[in-house]
Amino acid sequence: MAATRAWTGLLLCVCLGLAAKTDKKPAEARGVTGVVIKTTVDSFVVRVEDTRVITFKITSSTVFYHGSKWVRQARLKRGALVAVQSSADADGNLTADEVEFRDSPPTFKFPAKVEELLPGGVKDDPLLEKARRASGQLFQMLPNFVCQQSTTRSYAGADHQWRQIDKVTAEVLYENGRESYRDVKLNGRLTGHSIMDLSGSRSTGEFGSSLRALFDRPTEALFRFQTDAVLGGYYTAVYEFAVAGDKSDWRISAGSQMIMTPYTGRIWIDRDSGNVLRIEMKAVDIPEPFPFRRVEAEVDYGAAILPSGRYFLPERAENVSCNDPQSCSRNVIEFRNYHKYVGESSISFDMPEKP
């Protein structure tokens, strides 16, 4: 969640595994129309009418035509107007069967305005400005650190009872404002893969992308005070918020499909320090053909002590996604053992065999 702003590092990204017991047939059986935004030798990416961005594989059996004439794949370039018929595998990855070049552009869906998502919302007030400054100072002052991340992945069916699927653990490195992961283990065994290469539901961005995006001026988020509340011993103000789709940095992927979704939510701000203690987000206006109908995320922050000071960092996060009311997946993420990160290096005094 469309180009990301330079400071974002990692987008707040949720990738949803379609193999998680969904019986929903991909709407691409009916075909989609849109504009090509990227091509490679064996794939192309299309922004379709309903705001989805879809990657299609190309095989030797993919056919290309314009009107009643067959044409060459070389015509598939950025900016081309196309209608695509495709087929999907079990993981929701799409392969183009037929690509028809069109002359008339499709009618793209008009994104909802942020004022429609949160009527009466404002862009700023004294406490919001205090939270914006506190968030900005946090990422300017935050030292490099390492922590342990544990993700419990579960599934719920018609009985709404969560059943654990597996557990993913990793070391999270926060270095120069960017997150990375190492020693990724699945049920205690090293995978040899990055966390985003694992199958099933996974996410990144809990360490700041959501807060940075929400308080960044170009996002033009609207806020509306809701109530006062005590959270973790802190006196907080709870605000509702909304971000329009054309300003969103929340990227949600499912198989070959991706959306940069508008979202609404709530945020808890400590009245004394301006630190954010909790954020809840809910994707809205999800295109009907997208495999998931409900996507929500939340992050709880707490005080972490590092050698250079005390910082409010994630303690727990949760992501829930549902393809219908009776089929949902949940990731519960816990962050522990924050400590200073020192870059590893080695010095050798051996002479090289050749100069």
Q: What is the pLDDT of residues 141-158, one digit of tens each?
A: 888 889 999 999 999 998
**Euclidean distance between CA atoms 286 and 245, whole angstroms:** 10
Residues 230 and 162 occupy one common structural domain? yes
Give the model's pLDDT for residue 353. Answer: 53
- Name the phi and psi angles at 209, rounded to 5: -60, -40
Domain ends where: 101, 126, 150?
101
Beta bridge partners of 331: 153, 319
Decide if 93 is inside a domain. yes
**281 and 133 inside one domain:** yes
Q: Do 57 and 201 fall within a single domain?
A: no
Report CA dihedral (107, 108, 110, 111) to the nearest 10 degrees: 170
Cβ atoms of 34 and 46 within 8 Å: the answer is yes
- pLDDT of 205 reads 66
Taking the CA atoms of residue 127, residue 133, residue 138 and residue 141 in that order, the dihedral angle to the nearest 10 degrees is -150
**Same domain for 147 and 287?**
yes
Of the three residues 69, 101, 133, the one that is the final residue of a domain is 101
Looking at the fold, whether 115 and 72 belong to one and the same domain comes out as: no
The whole-number pLDDT of residue 308 equals: 83
The residue segments making up the domain with residue 221 are 12-18+111-340
Q: Are residues 296 and 230 in the same domain?
A: yes
CATH number, domain with residue 92: 2.40.50.140
Q: What span, in angstroms and rounded, lies between the C-alpha atoms of 293 and 273?
A: 37
What is the pLDDT at residue 27? 42
For residue 347, the one-letter residue type is I
The CA distance from 315 to 179, in Å, is 16
Q: What's the CA gap between 97 and 152, in Å, rounded?
A: 38
pLDDT of residue 16: 55
C-alpha to C-alpha distance for 126 and 129, rounded to whole angstroms: 5
CB 9 within 8 A of CB 209: yes
Same domain for 251 and 149: yes
Question: Residue 354 domain-assigned?
Answer: no
Query: What pLDDT score does 198 carry?
Result: 76
Task: Report the pLDDT value the prediction gives residue 340, as an integer from 0 to 100.
Answer: 84
Low pLDDT (below 50) residues in the chain: 1-12, 18-29, 345-349, 351, 355
CA distance 255 to 289: 13
Q: What is the pLDDT of residues 23-33, one digit of tens each?
A: 444 444 458 99
Number of domains in the chain: 2
pLDDT at residue 150, as a whole number: 94
Residue 351 lies in a domain: no
Residue at 141 is within a domain:
yes
C-alpha to C-alpha distance for 315 and 333, rounded to whole angstroms? 8
Of the candidates 82, 101, 120, which is a domain's last residue?
A: 101
Can you give the pTM of this predicted structure? 0.84
pLDDT at 6: 29
Q: Is 169 in the same domain as 77?
A: no
Average pLDDT, the chain: 85
- Per-residue confidence (pLDDT) for residue 119, from 0 to 100: 96
Do both 65 and 157 map to the same domain? no
Q: Residue 229 falls within a domain, yes or no?
A: yes
Same domain, 185 and 40: no
